[in-house]
């Protein structure tokens, strides 16, 4: 079993396209993966969605992430932390995947030999790249 380190961009698909990445990690991939993310991603997510969306939907999805995904703390200095670097570090430590839409993060992950999980809009599913 592998770990799928999920980036903010993948979680935001829930609000942009009603695509639940947590559910699709279980359904779409041939390999069983454990959902994981970082506290820096959770802070980014809180910032992005609370600025744009209000209500119970946000609260329930955030609760779902906290319930279904392992949240890792990697940075000691919250002022200087970089979510992308935390994701790279976590995926490297566990030799897992990074699930992202971010082109820059994809490039860095590939350079570091980290496997990717991407969202295929045409198929409305996650795939291992």
CA distance 54 to 15: 11
CATH number at residue 14: 3.40.50.1010
Please check whether residue 11 is in contact with residue 52, taking contact to mean a CB–CB distance below 8 angstroms.
no
59, two tokens: 């609260």
Q: C-alpha dihedral over 88, 92, 98, 100, to 10 degrees?
A: 10
Please check whether residue 91 is in contact with residue 109, taking contact to mean a CB–CB distance below 8 angstroms.
yes
6, two tokens: 């999920």
pLDDT at 76: 65
Neighbours of 62 (CB within 10 A): 16
| Structural domain count, the chain | 1
Which pLDDT tens digits describe the chain residue by residue (129 residues)?
A: 899 999 999 999 998 899 999 999 999 999 899 999 999 999 888 887 766 666 778 888 899 999 999 999 886 655 556 899 999 999 999 999 999 999 999 999 999 999 999 999 999 999 999
Domain, as residue range, for 110: 2-128
The alpha-carbon radius of gyration of the chain (Å, integer) is 14
7, two tokens: 């980036």
pLDDT at 77: 58
């Amino acid at each position: 079993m592998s770990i799928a380190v999920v980036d903010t961009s993948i979680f935001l698909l829930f609000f942009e396209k009603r695509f639940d990445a947590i559910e699709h990690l279980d359904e779409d991939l041939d390999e069983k993966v454990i959902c994981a993310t970082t506290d820096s991603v959770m802070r980014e997510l809180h910032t992005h969605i609370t600025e744009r969306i209000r209500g119970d939907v946000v609260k329930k999805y955030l609760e779902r992430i906290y319930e279904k995904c392992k949240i890792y703390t990697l940075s000691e200095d919250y002022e200087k932390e970089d979510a992308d670097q935390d994701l790279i570090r976590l995926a490297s430590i566990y030799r897992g995947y990074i699930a992202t839409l971010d082109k820059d993060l994809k490039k860095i992950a590939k350079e570091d030999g980290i496997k990717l999980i991407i969202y295929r809009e045409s198929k409305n599913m996650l795939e291992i790249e």
